[in-house]
Structures are given as structure tokens and as C-alpha cells.
Structure 1
Amino acid sequence: MTDHQSLKNAFLFRQPILNRQQELAGYQLSFGSSAAMTAPPAGAAAALCAAYSELGMQSALGHSCAFIGIDTEFLQQEAIELLPPAGVVLELLLDGAADRATLTRCQSLRARGYTLALPDYRGIDDRSRPLLPMVGVIKIDVDAADASQLRDLAGSLRKLPITLLAQGVGSSEQMEHCRSLGFELFQGRYFAQAEIVSGRRLSASQAALIQLVNLVGRDVETALIEDAFKHEPALTLNLLRVVNTVGCRGSRLAQPVTSLRHAITLFGRRQLQRWLSLLLLAPPGQAADPSRSPLLQVAALRGRMMELLIEPGLQGNHRHLSELAFITGILSMMPVALGLPIEEILEQIAVERDVRNALCEHGGLLGNILALLESFDNDDAPGCDRLLSTLPGHFDHQTLNTCLSIALRWLNGGSE
């Protein structure tokens, strides 16, 4: 498989890696294919690194690091030095004990500023012993160790200048246990596994945000939106700050905006609805910053990717779906953020029929794309292949991979 073919024949999956503050620290990048594979395909490491460069993932990921698996064959190639030392963590995929050439190469890469990671750590043995002085990160699979083993493994490394990463974290309880043992990084989608309870009461701030999202989404006079904002002074100040920081369509403002009505008009209804919806997903007391919150990152990426995927297949009367794509992506993460079933959320937020159908039934074109991106987020290659075939237009693996890169770049301050 050539590097270019890799983008066409496999999906570039990403699994979030969070720090102790539960902020996004990086992504584990991997190729996924619907073909049955018991091991990574030959040349997968080289292809993954080529995809990282071809898709411009360094700028797309912003401050987040990419964890990339490197096999012993690619480890020796000079091409590996095209990867930015500050933007990647090289994960050493070794079947057994490293030979002298591998150890020499690891020392050289470490001297060049690269961070090395050792996955599947199970204690001091012939494989790990010579590498411990060189690696900056050790990954321990929490599913492969019981509570006692996990405590012993973490304890034996605690005094070393090594960052411990818990891999395969499936719940917040599991994360908290690992954090208590000294782990600093946590890999998995546990942050998107919140308990959903019918009839849960929303906080006063969440209820106020829903009311505003509802108003902005309807064709009401600006005065009504302005009045609702006046009851939420913190939101009003936040809106004025955002408008004055961003300006009008990215251009600098000649004079600061101090009028609430002026801010609403400058921001625009569509952008205001997006911003308010992201605030609903933000952790309590924090701004809607997708670069910090993994839940916001998933929601904003999903919204932007839905826009990118839906536009080529739209014709005639369906053009309006493009304007509904982003909000559909964001709303799809509301059940996790609010702990409520989507049906109960939609009783409080007015949405168009196409959006409701997509969120509740995966119906229509919006629903098909939403299902595709849910499969993509869950590393479900067969599901992605099946759903890609249902979309109008000529979509393939590379389309989805490229959309991910464009959406990430947009999310991290790019113009796309």
C-alpha cells in the first residue's frame, strides 16, 4: 500500500488523549480499514506519517500532540525526521527486546528532541529495561491489568521522570482511579459516556442558555433576544467580549461595540446560535473553547465536518440543509453534556423537522451524515464504509480524512 493509497483505502482514526485537568492533550492517530486484520498492514507506520504530512496535521492539531505508532523498520528511515519533534510522540511498536541498532536510533531521536513512548508496558523485562532511560511516556492498558497489577505497575514508575498514560479508559470512575495512582494522561472516549437520565433537572444557567438558543433559532425580533440577554449579565459581557475580540467577519472594528443590540447584529443569528450551543456543552464555569474541552472539540468538529460533507451533494430545494448541518452536529452531543435524552432536549429547543429527524431517527441526508461521523468517532471502519456508500456524490476514505484535517484546522484558528 503506497502512502497516497493509504488515504484512499483506510480511515484516519483519532482517539482523544486528556490530561489530569481533563483537557485535550493530544490524539492517538491510526489507520482503520473494514478489511479483517489481525495486525497492522505492512508499511502502516510509514503511511501514517505520510498522511500526517500530506493532510497538514501539524497545523490542524494546533497545540495538541499526535501519538503515532512507529515500527522497527520505519524507525531506521530518515523520513521519520520530517515529523516535527514538538508535534508528535513516537510510539515504539516493538515485538520483543530492542536490538543494538534500535537502541542507537532511539538515542539519536531523543537527542533530536523527539518524545518516545513505550506502549503495552507490563513491568520491567528485557523489552522495557534498556528503553526506560530514553522514553518520555509509558502506556499501560487498563484492560490488561487488574486493580492490584495496575497499582504495582504505576507505583514502580512513579519516581522516574516518565509520564504515565492510561490506555483504554472507559469511564470517569476508571479515569479517577488511574489519576489517584499517578497517571497523567488518559486515552479513551470516557468523557462522551455520561449517564443519561430522563427527567433530569437542568441548572438555571443551562435553562437560560436553552431559552436563548430557542429564541435565536426562531424568526423573532432582535429586541426579544436583547431582552433575554439582559437577564443574563454574565452572558452579555461574554458576548461583547467575543464580538470585540473577533470583530465583524474577521476584520478589526474601528470602535469597540458597547451596545447589546449592535453586538447581536454584528455577530449574526447563525453565528450566535452556534456560540450559544457550544456554551451549553462547555464545562461549568468555563468558556466555550474547543481546544480545551474534548466534548466541545467533538461537537464542533462534527458540526464543521457535516457542513463539508453535505455541501457537494446538495441540489435545488435541499440547499437549506447546509445551514442546518452545523447545528445538527452540535446538538448531537447535547445528551452527553446535559445528561438528558435527545427527545427531551428537543422539547425545549425549537429545531426544524430535518434536524429533529436526523437527531432522533438518523433520517434523511443529515441523519446519514451524522451516523457516518458517529461511526468515524468510534473507529468503526465497516460502519463508515457502509454509510459512505449511501451518500450522494463520490465520497471515499480520502474525502473523510481530508474533511477531518480541514475541520481541525478551522477549529484551531485556520480560515477553512
Structure 2
Amino acid sequence: MIDLPPTPDAGAATPITKDFFLGRQPILDRSQDLLAYELLFRRAACGSANVTDDLRATATVIAHVAELGLEIVIGDALGFINVDAATLMSDFVTFLPADKIVLEILESVEATPPLIARITELKRRGFRFALDDVVAETDNIEKFLPLVDIVKIDIENLRHDHLQQLSAKYKAAGKTLLAEKVETIDQFQRCLDYGFDYFQGYYFAMPVVLSGKKLEASELAILQLMALINSDADNHAIELSIKQDVSLGLNLLRLVNTPAAGGHQRIASIKQALLLMGRRQLQRWLQILLYTKSGKGTHMPSPLLLLATTRGRMLELIAQKTRPGNRNIADTAFTVGIMSLMDALFSLPLNDILEKIAVVDEVREALLHRTGVFGEMLQLAEDIEQLDAAGALLPPILEKLQLSAEDLYALQLAAFDWANDIADSAGQAE
């Protein structure tokens, strides 16, 4: 049996985290590989964004995260963090590793001579800077422009001609362009055409249903194998199913022989893998294998794989925390998290996918309607991903699940860490 990493002790988080929510939003490059995360911090007391409180949260929680290990939160990616004038002028930034962090100057910050001098000093120390939420040309932006590396343009409400004009201006100035609030493939393509370098938003996780699209044979083989496991078929039937797809067998063996699988001996055959892993772990790796097969064969982590594995582990940890000792509920929660992005993975309606694999009614209702206890767990995971938009919704759902903000923070860190390990191992398995 291959054991999972141990469940974290939610009480291990230090008390300073109890009033804050932590969110991270992926930033992708032109190849749609993960480049960075923007880290967001919000006061748990009010839920919705409040600039003064949120920047205090940033300073407080990042001090803790820096001490704990920033790599747990962002892995091998970069971290983008909002800063105001007070934060920049303080010693707080010295807690941060200059090679891993991009400091985002908020649009409300005034370019005073002392602040310009401070940014110049921090650049000499190796820090990189971005201008946040640019929507128009201003004198203030012009003063900051020589000192920043990246210009983040908020595309949400910009006309196409205005977006093209802004991108052309800052591209000509030699700046790296980052489009934020990219929520559709069409928006991504438009920004790509305008010369943007980086893209922030969840467009990559939005289902784009393709008319007439069918599952590939290898994808269908994995779903059918998962259905066999769910129906409690015998080991011989499962082994035969795996052997009928050479690619499936090879990929599964590669995955189970990576460090994240936790195995202490090399697995050389499908039969041996079944005996050592057990069905619970086999099902888990099949679910993850679907997302690794969607990768482009690069060394960069797939953002969809990272998001799916983070959700799966997050829901599993929530179930372990709120219903200790019930492994079946934890396993089901993991499945709900992983399957919640299969429509984006396959470009098919989730209903069509669920016709190919048998799931219990609780899972179906959670995936299609966000109802029931698993639906609530999934909604919480989605809300924390979209912290800016959903912050006010978090306290009620936490109360319903009987979790504190401090619990959530500890579980998030554990989920991030596990997902990073999975992405590293998936890269090794390719």
C-alpha cells in the first residue's frame, strides 16, 4: 500500500493567521505554462476587499509565510504581491527573497521622490516591480515606468481599441505586459495577438465545449478503468483493462515509480502495482493521470494539473478535518475535487463525462449543482481561488463546515505542498 503524505495539524498554524484568508491566482506565459502566482490576503472579519486591512494582512501573513517557506505556497513559480507606499518604505520587504518575488505597486500609490528613491534602492537589491491595475495613461504611471519591469493591464472593462493602444505603448517602452482578469479563451487570444507576455485569470479552467468532440481512446480507457474500480470489479478484470492500452500501462507505471507516490520499491508490472497500491491509490493516480496526459510534454507544470490536484487534496483534507476517521468520505471528497475540472480538460459537458463513469449521487450533485456536503467543500475551494470576487462568501461557508480561517490556512498550505510534489513527479514521469 502506498501511503499518502500525513494530514497536517491545522493547529500548527501560528495565531497571526487566524484573521486572514490567503488566495493565489495563477499567472501563465504565452505557452499557457505556469509562471507565477499572485498572492492575495484578505481580512477574514469582513471577507470583502478593504485596501488598508488587506495590506496589513499582506504584511502580517507574508512575514509568517516567509518564515515557514515561501516555496510551499508557490513551489518553483514566482510570487506577485501587492504593496503600498507604507509597505515599501518599511523593513517588511526584506523578509522576502528578491529572486522569487515581484512587488506590485498599487494604482493608488503616489510616486513621491522618497518612494522613487526607495524603489531604486530595492531594485539594486534585486527586486522586480510591476505596476498593478493599469487602465489608462497617467502622470503617476509615467514617473514609475522607468523603474518597473512589468505593466499589468486590467482588461475587464477596456474597449478593444484602448487595450491595443495601451499594450502598444508599454510594449514600445520595453515593458513586459501582463493581462489580468482574463476569463475566456477569446480574451486570451486577443491579448496574445496584442503582444502580451503573461496572463492572469482562470480562462484555462473554463470549459470550452467543442461540438462533436469525442474522448480519445486513451482518455476513454482511463474513465472505463475508473468505472471498473467503482463497480468493485475483480483484480484480474482491472489488470486486463490496463493491459489493453499500452500507453495507459506505461504511464501508470511511470507515475507510481515517482517519489510523490511514496513507494519504497520499484514497481515493474501492472499486477505488482495493483497488489502494492490497492484500489484506493490506483483510482487516485488514474484521476491525476488524466491531467498529466493533457500536458504538452514540457518541463513546466500544467496549470490545470496543479489546480485539479490542489482542489482534490484540499477537499480531502477538509473531509479529514471535519469528519476524522472516515476514509471513505475523504476519498470521495478527493474525487469530487479532481473531477470538478474534467469539463475543462476534455472540452465536453460534465454530464457527458459522467455518463462514461459511474459516480454516486452525492458526487454527481456536488459536481453539477454544488449541493450537499461535497458541493459545499468544492464551493469553498473555488471561492478561495477567486478571493477578490468571493471573499464575503467565505465566512458563512466556513461556519457551515465548522472550519476556522486558521484551519483553512493550514489546510491550504498542505494542499499546495502536495500539489507541487505531484506536478514535479508528473514532469519526471513524462
TM category, shorter? 0.7 to 0.9
Does the aligned pair in 2 maintain the 1:58–1:87 contact within 8 Å?
Answer: no
Could you tell me which residue of structure 1 aligns to residue 412 of structure 2? 404
Could you tell me which residue of structure 1 aligns to residue 312 of structure 2? 303
Residue range with higher mean Cα deviation, 117-126 or 36-45: 36-45
TM-score (norm 2): 0.85
Could you tell me which residue of structure 2 aligns to residue 337 of structure 1? 345
Select which of 378, 383, 387 maps to 2:397: 387
Could you tell me which residue of structure 2 aligns to residue 147 of structure 1? 160
- Is 2:81 the counterpart of 1:81? no
* Deviation of the 1:229 alpha carbon: 1.9
Could you tell me which residue of structure 1 aligns to residue 244 of structure 2? 231
Could you tell me which residue of structure 2 aligns to residue 109 of structure 1? 122
Residue range with higher mean Cα deviation, 351-360 or 395-404: 351-360
Count of equivalent residues: 406
Select which of 323, 329, 336 maps to 1:314: 323
Larger helix proportion of the pair = 2
Residue range with higher mean Cα deviation, 40-49 or 214-223: 40-49
- Is 2:144 the counterpart of 1:131? yes
Does the aligned pair in 2 maintain the 1:282–1:288 contact within 8 Å?
Answer: no
- Structure 1: gaps spanning 5 or more residues: none
Q: Deviations over 1:207-228 (max 9, x none)?
A: 1221122223332222222222
Aligned residue type for 1:75: L
Alignment CA distance shift 1:368-1:143 (3 Å): closer
Q: How does 1:12-411 map to 2 (within 5 A)?
A: 12-33=22-43, 34-35=46-47, 39-41=51-53, 43-53=56-66, 56-95=69-108, 97-122=110-135, 125-196=138-209, 201-246=214-259, 249-251=262-264, 253=265, 256-282=266-292, 284=294, 286=296, 292-314=301-323, 318-379=326-387, 380-392=390-402, 395-411=403-419
Aligned counterparts of 1:247 and 1:234: Cα–Cα separation in 2 = 21
* Deviation of the 1:82 alpha carbon: 0.9
Greater RCO, CA 8 A, separation 6+: 2
TM-score (norm 1): 0.88
Alpha-carbon RMSD: 2.9
Aligned residue type for 1:25: L
Aligned counterparts of 1:161 and 1:268: Cα–Cα separation in 2 = 55
Aligned counterparts of 1:4 and 1:242: Cα–Cα separation in 2 = 35
Aligned residue type for 1:21: S
Aligned counterparts of 1:37 and 1:278: Cα–Cα separation in 2 = 34
Aligned counterparts of 1:378 and 1:96: Cα–Cα separation in 2 = 24
Aligned residue type for 1:100: P
Alignment CA distance shift 1:248-1:155 (3 Å): closer
Alignment CA distance shift 1:312-1:106 (3 Å): same
SS in 1 for 2:129: strand
* Deviation of the 1:319 alpha carbon: 4.5
Aligned residue type for 2:184: S
Q: Deviations over 1:308-359 (max 9, x none)?
A: 111132267x552122221111012112222333333222212234433433
Alignment CA distance shift 1:55-1:383 (3 Å): farther
Does the aligned pair in 2 maintain the 1:217–1:269 contact within 8 Å?
Answer: no
Does the aligned pair in 1 maintain the 2:21–2:42 contact within 8 Å?
Answer: yes
Q: Deviations over 1:45-97 (max 9, x none)?
A: 42353353355333331111111001001101112111011221101125354
Aligned residue type for 1:223: H
Residue range with higher mean Cα deviation, 116-125 or 269-278: 116-125
Residue range with higher mean Cα deviation, 354-363 or 300-309: 354-363
Aligned counterparts of 1:160 and 1:304: Cα–Cα separation in 2 = 43
- Structure 2: gaps spanning 5 or more residues: 1-12, 423-430
Aligned residue type for 1:330: I
Alignment CA distance shift 1:357-1:147 (3 Å): closer
